[in-house]
Structure 1
Amino acid sequence: MNEPFYDYDPASALGDPESIAVFMADAFETGDVAHIAQAMGAVARAKGMADLARELGLPLEQQH
């Protein structure tokens, strides 16, 4: 029996600050830089890059 695989984007589950905090804490616990970078990407997709830059205090041109 062949079951299809579907891509899962964890950004869809990151709807509030608490879930993002837990998600990032778990990523940092791994100590794996690549995993942490992927987790940060998921958070960026969840929040939108403009919101993320504003929260981090980055000028708009540094979002790229």
Structure 2
Amino acid sequence: MKKIITSLSSALLIFVASLSLTGVAKSAEFFTIGTGGPTGVYFQTGNAICKMLHKYAIAKEHGRK
């Protein structure tokens, strides 16, 4: 039982440490949203996502392009 608790606490410690390191880099992050053809449903969905991100970018800088 003690071995299981030690293993779980070690895994939790590593997980928390990795979360704290994710905010270190503040450079712009580029990502792609695949949308398909302009007449398809995925194009409209991707366009709506882009509009929401752009609206959020105007209100607060998020580092995404």
TM-score of the alignment, normalized to the shorter chain, above 0.5: no
TM-score normalised per structure 2? 0.33
Q: Quick check: which one's helix share is greater?
A: 1
Structure (1 or 2) with the larger CA radius of gyration: 2
